[in-house]
A = this chain, B = another copy of it.
Amino acid sequence: MRVAVDAMGGDKAPHEIVKGAVLAAQQFQDSEILLVGDEKVIQQELESCQAIPKNITTHHASQVVSMDDPATYSIRQKTNSSITRSVELVAKGEATAVVSAGHTGAAVAAATLHLRTLKGVRRPGIAAPFPTRSGNCLIIDVGANIACKPIHLFQYGVMSTIFSKYISRVQYPRVGLLNIGEEDAKGNDLAKETFALFSNSQLTFVGNVEGREIFDGKADIVVCEGFVGNVMLKFAEGLATGLLSTIKAEAMKGFWSKLGLFLCKPAFAPLKAKMDFTEYGGAPLLGVNGVCIICHGRSDSKAIYNAIKVALQLSKNKVNDHIVAELEKANVPAASVM
Contact = CB atoms under 8 A, between A and B. Distances in A.
A269 B253 CA distance: 13
A216 B241 CA distance: 10
Nearest to A271: B246
Interface of A is mostly: helix
A234 interface: yes
Interface size range of chain A in the complex? 35 or more
Contacts of A248: 267
A236 B210 CA distance: 11
Nearest to A213: B238
A183 interface: yes
A227 interface: yes
A51 interface: no
B271 A267 contact: no
A259 B256 CA distance: 11
20 contacts: A146-B187, A187-B227, A211-B234, A211-B235, A213-B238, A215-B239, A216-B242, A224-B231, A231-B232, A232-B232, A243-B243, A247-B267, A250-B266, A250-B269, A253-B267, A259-B263, A260-B262, A260-B267, A261-B264, A264-B264
Interface of A: 68, 70, 105, 132-133, 143, 146-147, 178-181, 183, 185, 187-188, 191, 210-216, 224, 226-228, 230-244, 246-248, 250-251, 253-254, 256-257, 259-271
